[in-house]
A and B are shown apart, each in its own frame.
Chain A
Amino acid sequence: MGRYFGRKLAIYALTFFVAVTINWLIPRFMPGDPVSRMVARAGMQTPEGVAAMREYYSSLFGFDVPVWQQYLNFWGGLLTGDLGVSLWAFPQPVSSIIVAAVPYTLGLLIPAILLSWWAGNKFGAYAARKKVLDNTVLPIWYVLTATPYMWLAILLAWALGKVAGLFPVGRTFSASLRPEWSWVFVTDLVSHWFLPFLSLFLVAFGGWAIGMRNMVIYELESDYAHYLGALGAPGKLVRRYAFRNAMLPQITGLALQLGVIVGGAVVTEIVFDYRGLGYLVLEAIKSSDFFLLQGIFLFIVIGVLVANFIIDVVYVLVDPRTRAGMGGGA
């Protein structure tokens, strides 16, 4: 057991190292130079002034040392939580911008993913043995999951926001309010949160339900289910086994979803102008703010790795077949 997790941890550490290195390399190969950009923004006329500003920003961004030194400094900064300065919201540090945006993204995505997963699995397993439900309700979700998400989100915003006027569209909370623990602010926040949540929930629910339905049907036709049936076991026991076994791939699916959660649902946040991490990604790209982009990507990498590791642990707990492989060198 210890060796198994040791080996896993080593693989994760290696993955992290490679991912961080690539993350550092990509902006440096991208066209556009942040120093020129900041200088141009200042609108200096005299060559001396431009030269002075260039020098100032080069040292601020750490470009005045050799490349290998920059790479080491990047790691040093990373380990002390210093991700550099944002250009988009200059001179705020990247880490504080990300930290400010994270609660909104998590508050939107975690409930959407967990609730749709829970409800979708329940509904899918139920639909697997109720023909009527399978033939009437599930097709609605075949359509919903096949619909381009962006179109569905816009449709929701238009129908429930603009036409029915039930929910405000745009922004995380009204521009006139400031974040605080007051009734007015919280209700405003929730009403802004609901539409993006609903759009995510609807689409994900259908995906989970369809997957679960297929898995349960497959499990109910498996040999162990037939054997239990031949020995007169009640349907309840057979379905319990089938459900438990059908959950295994769903757990993996959930882990993958939770892993990319920190990247935010970029499309959702853009459509609803919801200001979480996804919104930051767009803004960072628009203003070629590669420090911010780097910071967000780093966040995503860590999120994916942590989620995968958790799922490795969960799998060992729920599926004995993974345990069998632990002793060997595989």
Chain B
Amino acid sequence: MLHVDDLRVHYRTLRGDVRALDGVSFSVADREIMGLVGESGSGKTTLGKSLIRLDGRMRHVGGTVTLDGTELPIGDDGRMNAFRFNDVSIVPQYAMSAMNPTRRIGTMIRELVTSRGIRFDTVRSELDRRLDLVGLDREVLDRYPIELSGGMKQRMVMVISTLLNPKLLVADEVTSALDVSTQRAVALALAGFRDRDLVHAMIVITHDVSLVYQIADTILVMYAGKLAEKAPTDVIVERPLHPYTRALIAALPEVGVQYAGKRLTGIPGGPPSLRPPPPGCRFRDRCPVAFDRCAEQPPFVEVEPGHSVACWRAS
């Protein structure tokens, strides 16, 4: 069970702080796959990284992250190390280049595991089972990363990241670099890890709503460093309340609908600058239903069980 409470993470830049995560609170239950959706720059990757490792420019400004009753020291790189890989793990955005090009994959895994104080023999048989699970030959361990295709590398990284059965797995844009048929295989492999209880909870970060629709139990929509809406997948897709979520869903093409002579609608405008963000609701400028009250920031409140939204019109 993951609780994130009022998490604030800023990027330090020469022209002031960028408030990439500005007071984010949500929970992920055990066995839940949560899809995290938003456009580029909405803060979804920042959120994913914050849960495991802040990069050099990120600063933990406030808020807490609690995993199974233990608070994660996310601002303390040294103390956080004990939790990484064991409790929290990540499948990074850059899986294509995540493995050392000059080491055999098996050697790299052995050195990584050994460096964490775990004997390689104890995970060896589990490693083989996981390879079977994602449909990779066991002999890939004797190969170098360049000898694998993109989809194989992606699955290999998934196996490495989940090897120690983490309580929380963050999968960041895992399918973005893959073609559609491989995307499905990777998405199903992710769900398979959860179904076999190898990973307790999972956050799948993507800008591809149709991907999370296939595997996620709930979807969290982010906009400009704030949460917009969180609800079970069906609710988000069928009865979204936040105008941004509605626009996002409306922009998806539907199967069986003829689009000849009819343009797919997009969302006009772009997100505001976060350095610092304007007061009030951040979607205000692009919102079709904005009114006077939107000059004040709407709170992220639960409108029905399991469905929270940050919009004056919805609550």
A residues with a Cβ closer than 8 A to B are 222-224, 226-234, 236-237, 241, 244-245, 248, 318-321, 324
Please, which residue of chain A has its CB at the minimum distance from the CB of B55?
A226
Would you call A237 and B112 a contact (CB within 8 A)? Answer: yes
Would you call B84 and A230 a contact (CB within 8 A)? Answer: yes
25 A-B contacts, Cβ less than 8 Å apart?
A: A223-B97, A226-B55, A226-B94, A227-B92, A227-B98, A227-B157, A230-B84, A230-B92, A231-B160, A231-B161, A232-B80, A232-B86, A233-B115, A233-B116, A236-B115, A241-B100, A245-B101, A245-B102, A319-B102, A320-B101, A320-B104, A321-B101, A321-B146, A324-B144, A324-B146
Would you call A241 and B103 a contact (CB within 8 A)? Answer: yes
Chain A residues positioned under 8 Å from B67 (CB to CB): none
Chain A residues positioned under 8 Å from B53 (CB to CB): 229-230
Would you call A244 and B102 a contact (CB within 8 A)? Answer: yes
Chain A residues positioned under 8 Å from B52 (CB to CB): 230
Chain B residues positioned under 8 Å from A319 (CB to CB): 102
Please, which residue of chain A has its CB at the minimum distance from the CB of B98?
A227
Chain B residues positioned under 8 Å from A318 (CB to CB): 102
Would you call B97 and A222 a contact (CB within 8 A)? Answer: yes
Chain A residues positioned under 8 Å from B147 (CB to CB): 324
The 3 closest A-B pairs by CB, nearest first: A232-B84, A227-B98, A223-B97
Chain B residues positioned under 8 Å from A324 (CB to CB): 144, 146-147
B81 at the interface (CB under 8 A from A): yes
Interface of A is mostly: helix
Q: How many B residues have CB within 8 A of the partner chain?
A: 32
Please, which residue of chain A has its CB at the minimum distance from the CB of B164?
A231
B42 at the interface (CB under 8 A from A): no
Contact partner, B102, options A227, A231, A320, Cβ 8 Å: A320
Would you call B84 and A224 a contact (CB within 8 A)? Answer: no
B236 at the interface (CB under 8 A from A): no
B residues with a Cβ closer than 8 A to A are 52-53, 55, 80-86, 89-90, 92, 94, 97-104, 111-112, 115-116, 144, 146-147, 157, 160-161
Rounded to whole Å, the gap between the CB of B267 and the closest CB of chain A is: 31
Please, which residue of chain A has its CB at the minimum distance from the CB of B84?
A232
Rounded to whole Å, the gap between the CB of A194 and the closest CB of chain B is: 38
Would you call B112 and A228 a contact (CB within 8 A)? Answer: yes
Chain A residues positioned under 8 Å from B86 (CB to CB): 232
Complex CA gap A234/B113 in Å reads: 11
Chain A residues positioned under 8 Å from B157 (CB to CB): 227
Would you call B112 and A231 a contact (CB within 8 A)? Answer: yes
Complex CA gap A320/B53 in Å reads: 30
Which of B100, B111, B146, B147 has the most C-beta atoms of chain A within 10 angstroms of its own C-beta? B100
Would you call A224 and B116 a contact (CB within 8 A)? Answer: no
Rounded to whole Å, the gap between the CB of A320 and the closest CB of chain B is: 4
Complex CA gap A234/B90 in Å reads: 17
Rounded to whole Å, the gap between the CB of B200 and the closest CB of chain A is: 18
Would you call A223 and B94 a contact (CB within 8 A)? Answer: yes
Please, which residue of chain B has its CB at the minimum distance from the CB of A236?
B115
Complex CA gap A147/B244 in Å reads: 61
Please, which residue of chain B has its CB at the minimum distance from the CB of A324?
B146
Chain B residues positioned under 8 Å from A233 (CB to CB): 112, 115-116
Rounded to whole Å, the gap between the CB of A230 and the closest CB of chain B is: 5
Chain A residues positioned under 8 Å from B116 (CB to CB): 231-233
Complex CA gap A223/B161 in Å reads: 15
Q: A233-B112, A245-B101 are in contact. Are A226 and B81 (CB under 8 A)?
A: no
Complex CA gap A237/B113 in Å reads: 11
Chain A residues positioned under 8 Å from B160 (CB to CB): 231
